[in-house]
Structure formats: C-alpha cells, structure tokens
A and B are shown apart, each in its own frame.
Chain A
Amino acid sequence: MSFLLLIVCFNYSAQAQDEEKQKSWKIKGYIKEMPYFSYNKPYDQALYNNLVHNRLNFKWSPSEKISGAAEFRTRLFWGDVVTTTPDLPAQMRNQNERVNASITWFETDNAAMITNVERFWLEYKTSKWAFRAGRQRINWGIATTWNPNDLFNAYNFLDFDYEERPGSDALKAQYFINELSNIDIAVSPSFSKAATVGAMKYFFNTRSYDIQLNAGWYHNQFTVGGGWAGSIDEVGFKGEMQYFFSTTTKPQFNGVAEWDYMFSQGWYANASFLYNSTGLDEPVADWTTVNFQLSPRNLMPTAYNLLGSVRKEITPLISASLGVVYCPGTNISIVLPTFSYNVSDRWDLSFIWQSFYAELNGSFQPITYSGFLRAKWSF
C-alpha cells in the first residue's frame, strides 16, 4: 500500500514539474495486474498465478549534454509459479547483467516480490559524440522479431510482458558521422573473460536502405555480422546475419529475413524466417531437452523457424493479432493470438494466449497452453 502511495506521490510531483516547465527530471511508468494460467503436459492440473508488475522510470537531464536514467522493475508473483519454480528470484534475473542489482523483498511458499534495477546509466552527448556508461540497452537489432545482431542483450519475443526488454552493464561510445550514419563501439566487461562482449557497429544509409555492419568478440569468439532495412516496392524488407567463429565448438551462423506490409482497413502482415545453423532439425523425444535459454546464439533452439503474423485494428481502440511460428524439422509450432483494448488514455486491457505443440516420439501433440489477462495503468 505504501508502495502504491509512493507511486501516486511521484506521479503528482511529476505533474507539478510539468506545469512548472522546468523539467530537469521526469518520472514515468505503469502498474500492471495480470492473472494467468498454464496447462502443461501431462495435463494433470492447471497452474494458476498472478503477477503485479510495476515499472518506475526516472530520467534526469540537467543540461543539453548530460543525462541519466534509473529504471526499476518490481514484480510480485503469487501462485503455483512460486511453488513449482526452485529459486524463483535467481530464475528471474537477466543473464547479461554482470552486477546483481536485484532485491528480493520476500519469498514464501507461494509468493515472492522482486525488484530489479533495469537501467542505470549516465550519458555525455555532443552533436558528434555520445558516451554512455552503466546498465543500458544496446539495441543493435534492425529486424522486428528475431535479432541476430543484438549481441549485448538478446530478448525473447515470447516474453510479451517485458516491453522494455533487458539491458546489459556496458560502456558505449557513439560517433555521429552525419544524419544517417554513425559508429557505435560498446564493451560489456565481465570478471570472467569468457563472458565479455565487445563489438563495433557501422550504420549507414544508401539507396533507401539502412545498412549496418558489425564485428567483435562474443564470449571468447570472434563474430561478424550485418543487417539491412529497406523495401521492395511497397513491402518492407529487413534482415540480419551473424557469424560466430569458434575454436572450441562448431562455428555458427544465424540469419533472419523479414517482409512486412500495411494493407488498407487497418490490416498489417509480417512474415519472417530465422535460420540457426546449430539448431535442432529433427523431432525430439523429450520436450525438456529443448533449450529455450535465450542468447544471441540461441534466439530459437531450432534450425528453421517461420513466423507469420497478422494484426487488425478493429477500431482505433481495439486490435487483435495472430502469430504462428512453425519450425520445420522438429515440427515445433507456437500459436499466439492477442486481443487488446485501450479503455482510456491511461488504461489498457489485453488478453494473450500461447499454445505450444511439437512432434514427440512420432506423434504431433500439444505441450503447453497459457492464457494471460492483463490490465495496465500508465502514469
């Protein structure tokens, strides 16, 4: 309760700042309430959970050149997920964060509350240069769903409730060559050399295409990659490729190609293909052997991945979407319908469904169903 009160107070002071028109700092965020359930193979019982999820984003800009951010994500879980997940707080941590900046407020048999520092950075920026240090998101992806070029902080496209996506503890320098061209250099150091990531990226625009090229080290492996975003006639055309040279394991290639189109009457369609050269390409016997542990090298555990999605804006306030992922070879399939309703400027309601299917021991079967109902209040 005091926590809620704190947010409300912050909100009022942010508004007061707005009115004064002297904004050296700002606060924004939201609270989400989300009951959800999952029903998993072998279907003996459904698991019921509830998540209260708060985000507090502080932005500080004392001058034109200096800015900083501190963002906090607090989640209060209760239900079967706490009971059935061993060491939930550790499971909830982002893999690419070097420093443990999370607090477990409490953990009981069926409830746990965790706050994580999601962003914590300071930036110095001129018209030609920018330097940012701290926990930040380094967005090197150019495609929509799968981003092989996202070397520092890969994200899981199924984790729809994590809209800001994870960050990493890093130093980043940017040089702006011109309006449509820049160079980024970033390092995410680690106490263990094997977990260090360091790379540079050159971004430019030519013939109506955005092009990016990168090279660097990812966990002791040399890696090179590139991406593009442009169009073929009226159809958007984007893609990314990343190659990991390796001396200890097999070299790896990840590639994505994606097309999107906006039709009339509020219809939007997107088709994407992801290839992972070290991924699974034949059916598995045991679902638990499929590694969904996300990393830049493992955006999907399967070699061939096709995604088709359509979205329809039914009215400007109501929209529905359907995404279908199919992985030839393993026959893993995911069906993802969503429905969302903008109740007011501050309130949003959504319903999200996820069904997983796969071929196990020669038979195509459902693995898990999950349903989520979410109310979001933004401030």
Chain B
Amino acid sequence: MKKIIYSLFLFLFYSNVVQSQDATEIVRKADAKMRGKTLQAEMVIRTIRPTWTREMTVKSWAKGTQYSMILIKSPQKDEGIAFLKRKKEVWNWMPVLERTIKMPPSMMSQSWMGTDFNNDDLVRESSVLEDYTHSFLNDTTLGDRLCYRILMKPKPESAIVWDKVIVCIDKKDYLELNSMFYDEDGELVNIMNAYDIQMMDNRLIPTRMEMIPADKRNQKTELIYKQILYDRPIDDNFFAIENMKKLK
C-alpha cells in the first residue's frame, strides 16, 4: 500500500513537473540547444531555384544574442566579405573596397546575400525568448518524433516583422524541427524545416535547415552545418570592427 501511495505520489509529482514545464521553457531549451553559450560554425548555404543553384561557404561566430560575426569563404569573388553584429548595430566589411559600411536597420528583415534567409535569421538579432510570448497548441508528429506545437507571438514593443510564428519542438531532444512564419495579414510567408539529426561536438542537433518561401514552393535555401563548436570561450572584444578584416 505504501508503495502504491508512493508510486501515485511520484506519478502526480512527475506529471506536475511535466505540466509546469511551460511553453517558454521548452522554447528556451530548444534555443539553448541550438545556440549554446557560444557557437562557431562552418556551413554551406545553397540557394535553389528551378533553373539554377548558387552555393556559398560561410563561417560564423556567435555569443548569445548580442554578438555575432559572419565571414564569407566562397565563392572566391565574395571571399572575405564579413558582417559584424553588436546588439542592434550591424557593420559590413567589403574587402574589394577596403571599407566598413554601417548597415541601415531596415536591412535586417530583408534577404541576406540573395538567399531566402534574412539578415535576422543569420545574425539572430531578435531573441526567441525575450521578443515573443509562447503558448501551447496541439501536439504533432514529424517523421518519427513527437513534437510540441508552440505559438510564438511577438511582444508589442519588439521590432519583429512577423504576426506569429508556429514552431514544432521535438519532445525528447528539444530539437526545433519546423517553423512557420506568418505576416500581419495572417498569410504564411516562410516555412523552415530541419533535418539530418546528428551528433556534432557532442550535441544532437539537426544539421540541415531549409527555408521555403510559402508562395514559391519550388524554390528554397538550404543551410548545412559542416563543422560546429559549442561553448568555446570567445572574448567580447573578438566582435570588433577591426577584427572583421582579419577573420580566416
């Protein structure tokens, strides 16, 4: 009897724990998993259209949501172009012009280098935690993974261009496997899918992302992680204007 009561207690307590894990907490876990405290990555970004494909290789460094740096490695003519983001400000180093250009804030929500990703997707200016409120929708299954569906609504004071974002986060490993971005008219604008779940730097993560514009289903941009390093210390002063010129 004692055992039964104990089990029942445990069950109730445990289920309480599960229920008290609110939507924000799940988004936080998924975000922390993908982003880490710091993140260094080498990736291939492939823009795919019905009649052509372009590919570039890119290296990135990020520390939280405040600091990030991106360096283009190929194609050769764009090699050395770099972007620095510190808080809300973004600079662009153009090696051909030997010039640093301060970018207007309006550039953040627009296409990055002709891809289906915008600047914000790459330098992650907005925070999925601070700039949105989160609530549960019904659960769903993606592939063989059971997922939470969570509605993210931008907070009124944030500068997010979306009206809402619906994300699907895997219940077991907290992997964000699908995101749907809606504009203020309620129209679906972008669909992001994540695939190829693998161990990289001792972390189980999706290593291939695709962004599909909802009104042009025959085109997309793929982002494939080739190498990734989590939580290696990066000093704040690495994210310096001068350092954009030295990145390798």
Proximity bits, A107-142, B CB within 8 Å = 1, else 0: 000000000000000000000000000000101011
Query: Of A235, A238, A345, which one neighbours B75 at CB under 8 angstroms?
Result: A345
Proximity bits, B44-56, A CB within 8 Å = 1, else 0: 0001010010100
With contacts A176-B242, A179-B240, A266-B110 known, is A346 near B77, CB below 8 A? yes
C-alpha spacing A345/B104, complex, angstroms: 27
Query: Of B47, B52, B96, B240, which one neighbours A163 at CB under 8 angstroms?
Result: B96
Q: Is the CB of B102 within 8 A of A238?
A: yes
Q: Which of A225-233, A295-303, A361-369 interfaces with chain B?
A: A225-233
Q: Is the CB of B77 within 8 A of A345?
A: yes
Q: Which of A82-90, A256-264, A282-290, A352-360 interfaces with chain B?
A: A256-264
User: Which chain A residue shows the least CB distance to B114?
Assistant: A316
Which of B109, B239, B240, B242 is most buried by chain A, counting CB atoms within 10 A of its CB?
A: B242
> Chain B contacts of A205 at CB under 8 A?
89
> Chain A contacts of B86 at CB under 8 A?
179-180
Q: On chain A, which size bracket covers the interface?
A: 35 or more
B177 to chain A: closest CB distance in Å?
Answer: 27
C-alpha spacing A251/B103, complex, angstroms: 33
Interface residues of A in 134-162 (CB under 8 A from B): 137, 139, 141-142, 144
User: Which chain B residue shows the least CB distance to A379?
Assistant: B76
Q: Is the CB of A230 within 8 A of B76?
A: no
Interface residues of B in 10-44 (CB under 8 A from A): none
Q: Is the CB of A179 within 8 A of B75?
A: no
> Chain B contacts of A165 at CB under 8 A?
97
B88 on the interface (CB 8 Å rule)? yes
User: Which chain B residue shows the least CB distance to A376?
Assistant: B77
B111 on the interface (CB 8 Å rule)? yes
Q: Is the CB of B240 within 8 A of A176?
A: yes
B105 on the interface (CB 8 Å rule)? yes
With contacts A264-B110, A316-B115, A345-B75 known, is A235 near B241, CB below 8 A? no
Query: Of B54, B99, B106, which one neighbours A234 at CB under 8 angstroms?
Result: B106
Q: Is the CB of A139 within 8 A of B102?
A: no
C-alpha spacing A319/B30, complex, angstroms: 38
C-alpha spacing A260/B98, complex, angstroms: 21
A208 on the interface (CB 8 Å rule)? yes
Interface residues of A in 26-41 (CB under 8 A from B): 28, 30
Q: Is the CB of B105 within 8 A of A236?
A: yes
B218 on the interface (CB 8 Å rule)? no
Q: Is the CB of B111 within 8 A of A260?
A: no
A249 on the interface (CB 8 Å rule)? no
C-alpha spacing A165/B86, complex, angstroms: 29
Query: Of A163, A236, A315, A316, which one neighbours B103 at CB under 8 angstroms?
Result: A236
Query: Of B76, B77, B88, B241, which one neighbours A208 at CB under 8 angstroms?
Result: B88
Q: Is the CB of A316 within 8 A of B54?
A: yes
Q: Is the CB of A262 within 8 A of B106?
A: yes
A314 to chain B: closest CB distance in Å?
Answer: 11
With contacts A179-B240, A313-B114 known, is A260 near B89, CB below 8 A? no
> Chain B contacts of A210 at CB under 8 A?
102
Q: Is the CB of A178 within 8 A of B99?
A: no
A319 to chain B: closest CB distance in Å?
Answer: 9
B236 on the interface (CB 8 Å rule)? yes
Proximity bits, B101-125, A CB within 8 Å = 1, else 0: 1111111011100110000000000
Q: Is the CB of A179 within 8 A of B236?
A: yes
Question: Can you offer 24 A-B residue contacts whose CB atoms are under 8 A?
Answer: A28-B77, A30-B77, A139-B97, A164-B97, A164-B98, A176-B242, A178-B240, A179-B242, A180-B240, A208-B88, A208-B89, A234-B104, A234-B105, A235-B106, A238-B102, A260-B104, A261-B106, A262-B107, A264-B109, A266-B111, A316-B115, A317-B114, A345-B76, A378-B77
- Given A179-B240, A346-B75, 19 further pairs, Cβ under 8 A: A28-B76, A28-B77, A137-B98, A142-B102, A163-B96, A178-B237, A179-B239, A179-B241, A208-B89, A231-B104, A236-B102, A236-B103, A236-B106, A263-B110, A316-B54, A317-B54, A317-B114, A345-B77, A346-B77
